[in-house]
Structures are given as C-alpha cells and as structure tokens.
Amino acid sequence: MQQPPSSLPDFLADLRKQVNGALRTDTYSKVLYSTDASIYQVMPHGVLVPEHVEHVHAAVELAAKYDIPLLPRTAGSSLAGQAVNEAVVIDFSKHINNIVEVNEEEQWVQVQPGIVLDELNIHLQQYGLQFGPDPASSNRAAMGGIVSNNSTGSHSIMYGMTTDHVMAMDVILADGAQAHFGPLSDAELQQRCERSGLEGKIYQQMTAMVADPANEEIIRTGTPRHWRRCGGYNLDRLIQGGVSFKYPQRDDRFNLAKVVSGAEGTFAVMTGIKLNVVRKPTKTALAIVHFDKLFEALQAVPVILEVDPSAIELLDNLGLTLCREVPDYARLLDSFIEGSPNSVLITEFYGESEAELKSKIDRLKTHLKQQGVPSGAVVSAFDADHQAKVWKVRKVGLGLLMSIKGDHKPIPFIEDAAVPVEHLAEYVTKVEQFCNDRGTDVAYYAHASAGCVHIRPLINTKEAAEVSKLPEITSFSVDLLKGYGGSLSSEHGDGRARSGFNAQFFGPELYGLYKQAKDIFDPKGILNPGNVVNAGPMTEKLRYGAGYGVMSIKDHIDFKADQGFHRAVEMCNGAGICRKRTTGTMCPSFMATREEEHSTRGRANALRAALSGNLPNKELTSKRMYEVMDLCIECKACKAECPSSVDMAKIKFEFLAQYHEANGTPFRTRLFGNIAGLTRLTSGLLAPIANFTTRLGPVRWVMDKVLGISRRRTLPAFARHSFVNWFEKRGEQPPAIDKVVLFNDTFNTYNSPEVAIAATEVLEAAGLQVILPGHRCCGRPMISKGLVEEARKAAADTVSKLEPYARAGIPIVGLEPSCLLSLRDEYLHLLPDNPAAQLVASQAVMFEEFIASLADAGKLALQFKEKKQRLLLHGHCHQKALVGTTPSKQMLSLPDGYTVEEVDSGCCGMAGSFGYEKEHYDISMTMAERRLLPAVRSEKEDTVLVAAGFSCRHQIKDGTGRVALHPAEVIRNALK
C-alpha cells in the first residue's frame, strides 16, 4: 500500500471543523468503503458522508489546497473498480439524494447524485415518464454513478447511453470552484473561455483541443464505431455531428456535461444533474424464445432485430441452472420457462394495445420460422406482473453467477465488451475457446440486442497462476474487439479492470488526447486518480490475490455446504442489492439507516476483513464487530433476495456463538433465549398476576433500566388457559380420514392459544385427526441469540419427538413461521449428520402450505360463509424467504368473496425480541413505519389484517392499535 499524502492529517483536521461529524476516519469505516462490486479492494483515506452540498464544496476546496485525492461515490455498485481508491470517499447516497424538479411538459428532471434510479422512476410514474437507460442495478444504483459511468441497460437499442440524456450539471471543479455545464451557443462559449480560474482554462483548452483539425480526425477515426460504448472519454460528443450516436441528440451545442458524464469521477464532482426523461410505453409484452444451443441463440439475435423489438436479453444455461437453486427465483422461473432449454432470449415489444402486441409476437414467431431459426417454445407475457417476474430474474443474473460455490468465480474484467450483432456469435465463440484452451470455463449474461454479452471467465483470484490469466485474456479480447469494431467498455466503465488497456485499445494518439483532457480538468490529478488514464496493472489491489488467507476458527454450526464459514462470508461479491430501498425485504436495517455498515454487504466486508487480517483477527469477536452485526435482524431475506445467496442470518448465528464464547453471554440474552420456559411457567395460574404486573409503570421502568427491555413496549400477555389445556379438555372428536401433527409453538400455545385453537378446528373440519407432538421449545429464540449448544439440544429433543410421525408420513404443520421453518433450515446446520432431522424437515410445512396443497389436490372439504371480505396480508420475513407468500394468498382466497392484497411491507421490525430491546426500539419502529404501518392505517376498519407472525401482529397492534389475525383464524372465522 502506498503511503498517504503527508498533508492528509492537516486536510482531515481542517475538513472536520467544517462538516459537523460527517467525516469518518476510523478503520471500520474505511474497510466498509474499501470494496465495490468489482474484484478490487482499496483502503480509502477516510469517508465523508455529507449532509448537504456545502460539505462537498468544503471537501473539494481543501483537497485542492492539500493535494488530497477524492472519490465521489454513491451505491458502490461498480463492476470495474472505479468506486474504490486511495482517496477520501464522498458518499452522496445517504443525504444528497433529492429530486429537485420535474418538468413534465419539457420532459426533464433535476436531481442530486444520490437518488436511486428506481426511486426516481417511481416518482416519475405520476407524470407518465421514466429515465430511458435501465441498468440492471437500478434498484440500488444512484444517478451520480450512472451518469459517471455512462451506463445503459436492456433497452439501449431504444434509449442509447446515459450521456445521450444528460442535459446539464452543476459541478465542483478540481480547484474547488463551482461551475454549471450545459449547452452553449458560440457567443456563450466565448464568454466562458474569457472566465478566470480553472473553469476558464477548461473552456479555452477543451475548445482548442477539439477545434484542431488533426485532433478532430484522431477522435473521429479512433473512437469505436459501435454506438454502445462508455470507455475512454466522450471527446466525440464535442465535435460536430459526433461519432455514431444511437439516441437522437436534442442539442449538438458545445456541452461539457457530456464529457463529465462517463468520466468516472475523474473530471469534476457532480452536485446536481439535469436529465432528459422519456414517455413510458403504453403497453409492453415479452416473448421468451427458447433455444437448445447458446450459439443458435446468439445467431438468432440479428434475425429477431429485424422485427423491431425494444429489447433482447440473453439468459444462458448456467443462469437458468442457478435460478433453480434459489427458491425465490426458481418460483419466478417457472412462470416463463417450458421444459429445459439451454438458453432463452427475452424479447420485448412496445405497443399501443394488447392486440398490437399479440400481432408483433405472432410476426416474430413467423419470422423465426421463415428464416429457419432453430428455436423452441416461445412463451408470451402480456400482463405487468408476469413481465416483472421475467425482468427480476434477468436483473439478478450477475449476482446469480457470483453465487457459485468455491474459489473459482465468474470474474468481471472482459464482461463489458460489445460488438456489432452480426459478429456476436463469432466473438463469443472465440473468447470462450481462448479461455477453454487455458483451462478456464466461462459464464454469460447479455444485452443481446446491443451485441453486449457479459462474458465472465471463472477465475480463482486467490492463486497467482489464475491471476496471471486476467491480462492475457483481456489482451486477446482487446485485439478481437478492435477487429470487429466493438467497444471494450459498453456500460460498466473502465475502472481498474480496463483502464490499463485503454492505450492498447484506443491507440496512442486518441489515448494521448484523453490524458490531455484529464490534465485540463484536473491539473493536480486528485479526482479518482488511476481511472480511464494513468492506470496501474489490472492485477493490483485485488480483493483476494495470491497472498490472501484467513484465520482458522472452529465453527459451531455446519458450514460444509459453503466450504467453511469464511467462504460463506466471501459469497458476498459486493453487488450491493442489499442497498435497495423500494421493494422487498432485504435489508431492513439499511432501509432504515441508509448506512453502509448496516447492509448485508457492510457486515460481510467487516467480517471478511477480520478473518483475512485487514482488521486485526481479534476484531472478529470485538465489541465494534458486535455493533456492525447488531442490527442484522436475521430476517433471512438475504438468503432469498440476494442472488449470491449470502445467508447473513446463518452467519450471524455463528458470529454470536463466537462472540459469546470470547466475551461471555449477557443475562438478557439468556433470558430471551430461554423465553419459552419462562412463558410456560408463567401462563396458567400466574398469568393474571404477571399480566397485571408487567403493565405497571414502575415495573416497566425497572425492566427498562435493569434488563434493557423498552418501557415503550407492551409485553405480550400470558394466557390463563393454554392451548394444550383446551386441547386435552375438549372431549372426544369424530372419526377422521387422516392424521396431521400440529407443531404447536410456544407463542401460539401460551400467549395466543386462540390461533392454535382456530387451526385445530380448521384441520378437524377438513376431516383430519390432530396430534400434538409433546415437544418443548423448538430452540428458535436460542438460535436468534446465538446460544448454539442450547439450540442444538432443543433441536435434538424436538426431532426425537417428531421423527416417529415423519417416518409414518404424517405431515407436520406449523403456525409460527420462524419456529416451523427452523425445522427446514437451521436444524440442518445444527444437526448436520442426523438423518432424522432431514426426514422431519421433509415433512414440515406451514399451515397455509398444507391447506393450499389440500385444495390443489381436491381434498379440502370445507364450507365457507357467503360474504365479501377484503384482506390485507403482511408476510412474515422467514416465510417470504423460504416459502413465499403464494400459499398464504391461495388459502386466504378459498372463501368466495374474499379478496387478498399483499402489502410490500418489508420487515415489520419487531423481529422476535429485537423490537422489545431498549436500544432497538426506535429503529424497530422506523422499519415498521417505512411501509407496513402506513399501509395498515390507510385501510378501512372492516378490512381484515392478516399476519402469520406473532411478533408481526404485536408490531401492528403497538404501532396502529389495530388487531391482525393469523391466517388460521381468518379461515376458521370464514367457516359455516
């Protein structure tokens, strides 16, 4: 690592005086910002999280004074490594993220750099507008990064590159001066050239550069002809007519905003961006064209383009296979894949009506047949929900590729190339052959319509021999691309991965102009140095590298499937999908805090740093690491929603076990971990006394002060008569046609027995004999608190009680998602060599799954009241992650007249004991207030609120005063 500038302490001291605590220089903060989604890791000098633009201005002014490198950054989703550097990182994503103005009539929007693209598009929906380019990372990538990279996406054949839509921007120049870049008339340009300072010099020297006939010729002949390009600098945007633009230019006046776009933060620091936006298409439809061979799919792309689609996306065999291994995506895949194709081309059409779209898809089918294209099934998707499922699978393609187990990963370094579509199949074949000849397999995903196939060789960057393949393969690709008229970087930018090859790719003359432009904008070289020009070797600063190693630890739970605890942590490749904020559940704490530390990626980064020595190994079980892990609420959303299948809930289980082993186990942790025993003892005769006592102000004050149980919470009541009491006293039941085990958890036995009673009555009404297994606590509270040995003992006891029923083929039906699903998830890690645990897991189902399966099989003989009823469903996090909510919606829709709407509520925030803990109360409520509680408050009084989770129902009651029912209660109440 090179030494930081000697002036760094003075810079940091001066900056700290002006930014009110927004500057972070602790080691953990630097570790958290040392990676992006690329293969690189570079420790920054510090991190500035500015609260407003004045903080950014102060940082740039002082950086110019002290010669300190700066790196403007948003989501850090860069695949090429331009979002890491030995610099002071300025993170715009937390605060400088507003939509300033929308002009519907003129179709433009003014935004700050930190606004996430999906959030912008959601806001624009009310105007019937959208931002045209749509990178796959749109759910977390922010406009600052998108503009800096000159990104594009699936619809590039419709909308071109981001630079095509950049109209103007406010920037801070490398000397700290503020400037506005936009289209200028000749007279206005002359006035700018007469200005003093760096701004005047930039205008003078840039206009002189591009006005020189020799330079213009170099730009025209050296710039790749393929329109899909973002490498190098956009000097071609400053010459008359440009070079091969795809999207019609609104304005060909001299505009420096066009060259700051795509400069990867090396020219200026953007603080405001004016963007062209486009009308949303009236209607869209998809045709998913199936192929038996990848080569045939790629050869078909030019043929499909002849019928004018709006997009063509490739999903190859590896991507399809990996989708099948992630439950959430496997369910989506089933909605549009027939049989077992090798690959599919997702082909989209725009239209004004469904009839027009059907006609276009029919034309596609006819055209494929007439041209002799060897395609298979063509699956159509006309409704928005169906299409959303297809695009969701496509957008997670990159993360799915990175979910491959082991040290060989599909590495991004040549993945951003694009060629004219007529050369696509040939280019891919040659690169694959070159890699195969060196013992390297490849994986793909693609914007096939634009000739961009993201080819990812599988490289083990922990081995020197493997690392040496990176420049060799890149150099081969560069020479091929030059011959085909393609581009080395087509949407992800140059960064550390490709900047070192720009001289070879663009040639010495054009590259010389790029270096000259960099010197003009940034004379001291302080803005994201080493990117686009003046780059070091691509094999420097690798996240892993030949010297990478990890400390040895003894695992408490089984990580054999992950090839060790450290590899489970390393599954995080930095893509940052855990930073999304608009839909889904992952990651609840990041959604609430917008802090990198509280994302799944942040936690993985910190753990990996301690394991590998980037932090002292002792930090693995330090109090500071505990703080990093603390807000992980073990929702399991990452297991389903992270395409790389980072299971942070499992990782935290192991971390807590390591932490308690090193530091001891706090009393409150043991109290909540063993809550089942306390609940069982307190219910019954003691219940009225306990319920009265825990509601007394002084008692709640003592619990708050002594135990850290928030006095702002109402504790769950204990039942005077438990479900077991009711079950044993209810008398003889009528004969049944089959048997079922009701896995009666602690909460629905001793706190809310009405739920278990309702479930029993529904099951018996369906002709089933209900059996109670007689188990005690399943261990779920112990799992959440990292009490491994206690949890293992509880799991073993539970399995021993359930095994005879599972062996007899009797279904084990549960009511509390976190408890029942522990049998299918954590038990397999706690009891890895226990065949009985696997047998029990195979028979364990949620109540909703069981009832829905009976209905599907035509075996559910229930009679319902005739009544119209609206239901609002909130899904439990574990249920959404491991099962999905489809069975719940299916079951709740069984009564005629019942309509179910599921609220995209994320996590309720209670998360077992988490929301009761004093230090977590505020963030628990923040999580709930994001979507769930406002949705509940907006419902009419006669809407039935439904939530399977015991904690979820209590959060709804605490936050809104309204009562939510368990799905079993809803069905019981609907019975005649």
Q: What is the pLDDT of residues 166-214, one digit of tens each?
A: 999 999 999 999 999 999 999 999 999 999 999 999 999 999 999 999 9
Residue 835 burial class via C-beta count within 10 angstroms: exposed 0-12, middle 13-18, buried 19 and up: exposed
Mean pLDDT of the chain: 95
Dig out the tokens for 256 from the structure.
């420096």
Question: Are 259 and 237 within 8 A, CB to CB?
Answer: yes
pLDDT value of position 340: 93
Number of Cβ atoms within 10 Å of the Cβ of 197 = 12
Query: Between 613 and 395, whose confidence is greater?
Result: 613
SS3 944: strand
Q: Looking up tokens 């693209």, which residue turns up?
A: 117
Alpha helices in 730-875 (DSSP H): 753-765, 780-784, 788-807, 817-824, 826-830, 835-843, 847-856
pLDDT at position 404, please? Answer: 83
At residue 942's C-alpha, the angle toward residues 936 and 945, to 5°, is 40
- Phi then psi for 48, rounded to 5 degrees? -110, 125
Query: Is 121 in contact with 103 (CB distance < 8 Å)?
Result: no
User: Of all residues in the chain, what percent carry a pLDDT higher than 70?
Assistant: 100
Q: How confident is the model at residue 961 (pLDDT cuts 50, 70, 90)?
A: very high
Per-residue confidence at 398, pLDDT binned at 50, 70, 90?
A: low
Specify the pLDDT at position 395.
75
The single-letter code of the amino acid at 438 is R
Mean pLDDT of 223-240: 94
Q: Can you say whether the dihedral through the CA atoms of 407, 408, 409, 411 is positive or negative?
A: positive
Q: What is the pLDDT of residue 331?
A: 84
27 sits in which H/E element:
helix 27-32
What mean pLDDT do residues 434-439 have?
A: 97
pLDDT for res 231? 95
Whole-number Å distance between alpha carbons of 443 and 401: 7
Whether omega before 587 lies within 30 degrees of 0, making that bond cis, reads: yes
Radius of gyration of the chain (CA): 30
pLDDT digits (tens, 9 = 90+) for 244-259: 888 877 788 999 999 9
Q: Which helix (H) or strand (E) holds 529?
A: none
pLDDT for residue 906? 93
Give the per-residue pLDDT at 530: 98
Q: What is the 3-state secondary structure (H, E, C) of 223-271?
A: CCCCCCCCCCCCHHHHCCCCCCCCCCCCCCCECCHHHHCCCCCCCCEEE
Question: Would you tell me how many other CB atoms lie within 10 Å of the CB of residue 775?
Answer: 17
User: How much is the average pLDDT of 371-375?
Assistant: 96
What local confidence, expressed as pLDDT, does residue 323 receive? 85
382/443 Cα distance (integer angstroms): 30
pLDDT in tens, 908-955: 999 999 999 999 999 999 999 999 999 999 999 999 999 999 999 999
pLDDT at 468 over 90: yes
CA distance 907 to 900: 19
Confidence tier at 241 by pLDDT (50, 70, 90) = confident
pLDDT attached to residue 399: 66
Instruction: Please count the other Cβ atoms lying within 10 Å of the Cβ belonging to residue 430.
Output: 15
| Residue 445 confidence (pLDDT) | 76
Residues with Cβ < 8 Å from 766, sequence gap 6 or more? Answer: 851, 854, 860, 861, 862
What's the rounded mean pLDDT across residues 547-572?
96
B/e letters for 280-289, b = 16+ CB within 10 Å, e = fewer, are eeebbbbbbb
Pairing state between β 452-459 and 409-410: antiparallel
Q: Quick one: residue 507, left, alpha or beta (phi over 0 = left, psi -120 to 50 = alpha)?
A: left
φ/ψ of residue 835, rounded to 5? -60, -30
Is the confidence at residue 3, as pLDDT, over 80? yes
Identify the pLDDT of residue 658. 98
Which helix (H) or strand (E) segment holds residue 89: the answer is strand 88-91
Angle of helix 817-824 relative to helix 835-843, nearest 10 degrees?
130
Nearest to 564 by CA among 576, 577, 551, 575: 551
Sign of CA dihedral 701, 706, 711, 714: negative
Question: How much is the average pLDDT of 20-29?
Answer: 96
High-pLDDT (> 90) share of the chain, %: 92
Taking each helix axis as running N to C, give the angle between helix 788-807 and helix 835-843, from 0 to 180 degrees, rounded to the nearest 10.
70
- When pLDDT is averaged across residues 621-635 and rounded to a whole number, the result is 98
Provide φ and ψ at 12, rounded to 5°.
Answer: -65, -40
> What secondary structure letter does DSSP report for 870?
E
- Residue-level pLDDT at 420: 94
The first and second tokens of residue 101, run together, are 């103005």
**Torsion of Cα atoms, 372 then 378 then 381 then 386, to 10°:** -140
| CA 538, chain centre distance (Å) | 27
- Mean pLDDT (whole number) for 508-516: 98
State the Cα torsion 662-551-78-541 to the nearest 10°: 140
pLDDT higher than 90, residue 105: yes
